Amino acid sequence: MAAAIKRSTLKLGMIPADGIGREVLPAAQRVLEALGSSIPKPEFIPLLAGWDHFTKFGTALPEETIQVLKNECDGAMFGAVSSPSNKVEGYSSPIVALRKHLDLYANIRPVASVPGMDGKQVNMVIVRENTECLYVKQEQIETLADGTKKAVAIRQITERASSRIGRMAFELALKRAEERAANPGGSFWQGPPKVTIIHKSNVLSVTDGLFRETVRAVKEKDAAGRYASVDLEEQIVDSMVYRLFREPEIFDVTVAPNLYGDIISDGAAALVGSLGLVPSINAGDNFAMGEPVHGSAPDIEGRGIANPIATIRSAALLLSHLGYTAPAARINAAVNSVLLEGKVSTPDLGGKSSTNEVIDAVISKM
In degrees and rounded to multiples of 5, residue 283 shows phi and psi of -130, 145
DSSP lists the bridge partners of residue 142 as: 150
pLDDT block averages, 10 residues each, the chain of length 366: 68 97 97 96 97 96 98 97 88 92 95 80 93 89 95 96 97 90 67 95 96 97 93 97 93 96 90 89 96 93 96 96 92 95 94 97 97
Structural contact between residues 104 and 288, judged by C-beta atoms closer than 8 angstroms: yes
Distance CA 346, CA 166 (A): 36
- Which pLDDT value is given to residue 184? 66
Q: At what angle do helices 355-365 and 325-341 cross, to 10 degrees?
A: 120
Distance CA 280, CA 313 (A): 8
Distance CA 217, CA 344 (A): 47
- Which pLDDT value is given to residue 180? 83
- Which pLDDT value is given to residue 5? 55
In degrees and rounded to multiples of 5, residue 75 shows phi and psi of -175, -175
- Which pLDDT value is given to residue 275? 85
DSSP lists the bridge partners of residue 109 as: 126
Name the pairing type of β-strands 281-283 and 106-112: antiparallel
Phi-psi region of 219 (alpha: psi -120 to 50; beta: other; left: phi over 0): alpha
> Any residues with CB less than 8 A from the CB of 157 and at least 6 apart, and which?
132, 133, 207, 208, 210, 211, 257
Which amino acid would we find at residue 6? K
Question: Whole-prediction pTM value?
Answer: 0.90
